[in-house]
């Protein structure tokens, strides 16, 4: 349940965007579909050892039966108890096959994605809110007539990523924003359930004279290559390198005001904005949307505690799950953590290299030394990145004159409006980034 867009950038859990093996030939889809259905049946019956029997060697090393049990229990703590399988579909991505089993839980419909290698072994597994049956409809503030879309490639070679650049029509070079995702294998739209946060931002801003570049995340497009470097993975490879490549691309793009390139980060992307800016001081300005200012491991514990407490009580099994997570967090913070510490002993199944890289990183404190103007936005109903993080940004940056802060009382982690106490199920409801957010970003950029 990385924050961000997350777990899923915003919600459930990512059990490894990294655990996917290469595929070299066509697979028997019917067999894989049956296998995926049986796998989920075993999970629902708590037969975790039998479920892992279908894993390939990489998955077995990364996810023991105990870790799989913990993952399934964590999913149910958020989505409610498993009820039934509703339907299946398959996808081809990068040469391998994904069987998606849409399943009904008490509080949400979840797409359980099971990845198969050429031998019919399970090579990857992750969970996401079920895709909406209805087609995406643009928000009312988007005017598609005033901008054009161009397909682009961010980066080059092994890590090249497909992306979309929206540019306002006209002869005058436009200011431009690069959108940097939250955690998890996000697409260029930062799709979460029926919602498309980055598409709303891109087309909303381009309707107001600002170009926007968004791209598929490396952990989505290059899962098998990420797997090859899994033991040494850090946020540099996951996020920072590609954000910098996107900025570099824009400096070579016609129709762009290269003196006015801005970078916007959401969730984990927002947390990493100071590191991105340190790498490229010529970036014109920075926007942080729901960026953590506290250590990731502490935020993960807070998120899980919040979700487990939603029904007013924490069961013994849930408390055991929480205690296990806290033990993993304690290991992250301990001096005994080393690069050889197994990932299955650490939060979210992320490798020790990832946690060591983030150790001692204080985003708000690093931002003090930046020279670029900053806009920091926060939804007050966000349970993943909270007002505590927002207040930390404000406290640390209080003496800087070129920083603005905006707090939105009704907005959640996706900057979509809602009412009352928020639960993960809210992300399954269709909505759009609030128009007030588009307006505030537009005015801020045009004022720089």
DSSP 8-class letter at 16: -
pLDDT of residue 134: 61
Residue 417 in this model has a pLDDT that exceeds 70: yes
CB atoms inside a 10 Å sphere around CB 354: 23
Give all strands (DSSP E) within 306-420, no chain letters.
374-379, 403-408
List all residues 6 or more positions away from 312 whose beta carbon is below 8 Å from its beta carbon: none
CATH 3.10.450.590 fits 29-129, yes or no: yes
pLDDT of residue 353: 96
**82 beta partners:** 105
Question: What pTM was estimated for this model as a whole?
Answer: 0.80
pLDDT of residue 410: 97
Residue 221 in this model has a pLDDT that exceeds 90: no
**Tally of residues, the chain:** 448
CATH topology of domain 144-296+355-446: Rossmann fold (3.40.50)
Give all strands (DSSP E) within 290-393, no chain letters.
374-379
DSSP 8-class letter at 240: I
Residue 361 in this model has a pLDDT that exceeds 80: yes
Residue 314 in this model has a pLDDT that exceeds 60: yes
pLDDT of residue 13: 37
Q: CATH 3.40.50.1820 residue ranges in the chain?
A: 144-296+355-446
Residue 228 in this model has a pLDDT that exceeds 50: yes
Mean pLDDT of 110-135: 81
Residue 27 in this model has a pLDDT that exceeds 70: no
Segment of 231-235, 349-353, 387-391 carrying the highest mean pLDDT: 387-391
Give percent of the chain with pLDDT exceeding 90. Answer: 63
Q: CATH 3.10.450.590 residue ranges in the chain?
A: 29-129
CB atoms inside a 10 Å sphere around CB 322: 18
Residue 251 in this model has a pLDDT that exceeds 50: yes
Q: Tell me the C-alpha to C-alpha distance, in Å, between residue 65 and each of 53, 103, 334.
A: 9, 21, 25
Q: Which helix (H) or strand (E) holds 324?
A: helix 316-333
Phi first, then psi: what are they for 53, rounded to 5°?
-65, -25
* CA gap 231, 291 in Å, rounded: 26
* CA gap 230, 342 in Å, rounded: 11
Give me the active site residues, please: 267, 382, 413
């Amino acid at each position: 349940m990385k924050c961000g867009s997350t777990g899923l950038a915003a919600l459930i859990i990512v059990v490894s965007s990294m655990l996917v093996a290469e595929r070299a030939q066509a697979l028997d889809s019917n067999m894989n579909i049956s296998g995926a259905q049986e796998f989920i049946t075993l999970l629902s019956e708590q037969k975790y050892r039998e479920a892992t029997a279908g894993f390939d060697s990489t998955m077995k090393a990364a996810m023991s039966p105990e870790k799989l049990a913990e993952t399934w229990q964590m999913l149910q703590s958020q989505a409610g108890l498993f009820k039934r399988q509703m339907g299946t579909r398959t996808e081809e991505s990068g040469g391998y096959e994904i069987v998606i089993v849409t399943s009904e839980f008490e509080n949400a419909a979840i797409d359980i994605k099971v990845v198969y290698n050429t031998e019919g072994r399970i090579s990857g597994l992750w969970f996401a809110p079920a895709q909406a049956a209805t087609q995406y409809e643009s928000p009312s503030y988007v005017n598609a007539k005033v901008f054009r879309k161009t397909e682009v490639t961010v980066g080059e070679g092994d890590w090249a990523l497909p992306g979309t650049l929206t540019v306002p029509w006209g002869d005058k070079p436009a200011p431009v924003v690069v959108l940097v995702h939250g955690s998890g294998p996000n697409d260029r739209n930062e799709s979460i359930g029926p919602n498309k946060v980055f598409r709303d931002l891109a087309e909303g801003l381009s309707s107001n004279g600002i170009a926007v570049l968004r791209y598929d995340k490396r952990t989505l497009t290059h899962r098998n290559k990420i797997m090859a470097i899994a033991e040494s993975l850090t946020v540099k490879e996951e996020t920072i390198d590609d954000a910098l490549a996107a900025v570099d691309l824009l400096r070579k793009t016609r129709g762009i005001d290269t003196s006015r390139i801005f970078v916007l980060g959401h969730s984990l992307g927002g947390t990493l904005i100071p590191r991105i800016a340190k790498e490229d001081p010529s970036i014109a300005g920075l926007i942080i949307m729901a960026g953590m200012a506290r250590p990731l491991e502490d935020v993960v514990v807070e998120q899980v505690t919040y979700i487990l407490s939603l029904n007013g009580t924490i069961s013994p099994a849930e408390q055991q799950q929480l205690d296990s997570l806290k033990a993993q967090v304690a290991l992250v913070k301990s001096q005994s953590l080393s690069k050889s510490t197994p990932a299955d002993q650490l939060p979210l199944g992320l490798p020790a290299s990832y946690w060591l890289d983030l150790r001692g990183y204080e985003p708000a404190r690093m931002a003090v030394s930046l020279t670029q103007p900053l806009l920091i936005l926060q939804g007050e109903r966000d349970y993943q990145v909270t007002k505590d993080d927002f207040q930390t940004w404000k406290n640390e940056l209080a003496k800087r004159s070129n920083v603005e802060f905006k707090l939105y009382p009704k907005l959640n982690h996706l900057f979509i409006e809602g009412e009352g106490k928020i639960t993960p199920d809210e992300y399954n409801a269709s909505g759009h980034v609030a128009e007030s957010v588009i307006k505030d970003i537009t005015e801020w950029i045009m004022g720089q």
